[in-house]
Amino acid sequence: MENPVLKLLHDRHSRRSIATDPLPEDIVAELMEAARLAPSCSNNQPWRYLFLLSAEAREKGRSALTASNALWASRAPLLIFGYTRRKDDCTNADGRAYHQFDLGLAAMNIMLAATHHNLVARPMAGFVAAKVKEIFSLDAEAEPLVAIAIGYPSDDVSHLPDYAKELHLRPRTRKDVSEIITRL
Residue 97 backbone dihedrals phi, psi, to 5 degrees: -100, 130
Q: Is 93 strand, coil or helix?
A: coil
What pLDDT band is residue 172 in, cutting at 50, 70 and 90?
Answer: confident
Q: Please list, residue by residue across 166-182, b when 16 or more beta carbons sit within 10 angstroms of its beta carbon and e when fewer do.
A: ebbeeeeeeeeeeeeee
Instruction: Find all residues with CB under 8 Å of 58, minimum gap 6, and list them.
Output: 52, 76, 77, 78, 79
Q: Which percentage of the chain shows pLDDT scores above 90?
A: 60
Residue pair 120/73 in contact (Cβ under 8 Å)? The answer is no
Please tell me the total count of domains within the chain. Answer: 1
Model confidence over 27-69: pLDDT tens digits?
999 999 999 999 998 888 999 999 999 999 999 999 999 998 9
Task: Give the whole-angstrom CA distance, residue 22 versus residue 32.
Answer: 16
Domain holding 14: CATH number?
3.40.109.10
Q: Please list, residue by residue across 140-149, b when 16 or more beta carbons sit within 10 angstroms of its beta carbon and e when fewer do.
A: eebbbbbbbb
* pTM recorded for the entire structure: 0.90
Closest by alpha carbon to 40, among 103, 112, 107, 109? Answer: 103
Q: What is the domain range of residue 158?
A: 4-180
For range 107-134, the mean pLDDT: 96
Model confidence over 55-113: pLDDT tens digits?
999 999 999 999 989 988 989 999 999 999 988 888 776 878 889 999 999 999 999 99
